[in-house]
Amino acid sequence: MRIGIYPGSFDPVTLGHLDIIKRSAKLVDKLIIGVLNNSKKVPVFTNQERKEMIETVAADIPNVEVDYFTGLLVDFAKEKQADVIFRGLRAVSDFEYELQIAQLNRTLRPELDTVFLAASVEHAYLSSSLVREIAQYRGDISSLVPEELIPIVERKYQEILSKT
């Protein structure tokens, strides 16, 4: 059984992430989405919210599981008995950073390979921070996140704005 991991912050998950999730899931028997509890980034959405949003949008993909992780990706991959990490590349600018991480991860765990999927052209400009910025100013996020998540993201920003 081939197990893949697609790690990220997913704050929030975007249409670009969903594209990579769908395509990665076809390449393995089981795909685990690893929601990073990142000490370097303070997420807008809680761990639970980020996990639930991915579970909602990936509900119709039977071989996808979602879990959190802290610490090293290679340790999470070992715990999950994963063979491969998936990452999306949106532009050449992603490549340098991603290559470095992939090489580092292989140094730490040589049997773990990273597969890069080219982001679909229509999602190449997308990022979670772009979604957050547009949502913050009550802009239209309908072309950026899966439809089911629009009210969740908008509600979150209404809550945040009502507290400021």
Q: Residues in the site for ligand COA, rule: CB under 6 A?
A: 7-11, 14, 16-17, 20, 36, 38, 72-73, 88, 90, 101, 104-105, 119, 123, 126-129
Determine the residue type at 108: L
- Count the Cβ atoms, other than its own, within 10 Å of residue 94: 15
Catalytic residue among 17, 50, 132, 156: 17
Q: Is 90 a catalytic residue?
A: yes
Shortest CB 158 distance to ligand COA, Å: 21
Nearer to ligand COA, 107 or 162 (CB): 107
Contacts of 119 (CB under 8 A, 6+ apart): 16, 19, 20, 88, 89, 90, 126
Q: Residue-wise over 105-127: b if at least 16 C-beta within 10 A, else e?
A: beeebeebebebeebeeebeebe
- Tell me the CA end-to-end span of the chain in Å, nearest whole number: 49
Catalytic residue among 41, 129, 142, 155: 41
Q: Is 17 a catalytic residue?
A: yes
Q: Is 40 a catalytic residue?
A: no
Nearer to ligand COA, 93 or 162 (CB): 93
Catalytic residue among 9, 51, 87, 128: 128
Q: Is 123 a catalytic residue?
A: no
Using CB atoms, what's the residue nearest to ligand COA?
A: 16
- Identify the residue whose tokens are 């899966």: 146
Contacts of 43 (CB under 8 A, 6+ apart): 9, 11, 50
Shortest CB 26 distance to ligand COA, Å: 16
Catalytic residue among 50, 90, 132, 156: 90
Catalytically active residues, by annotation = 17, 41, 90, 128
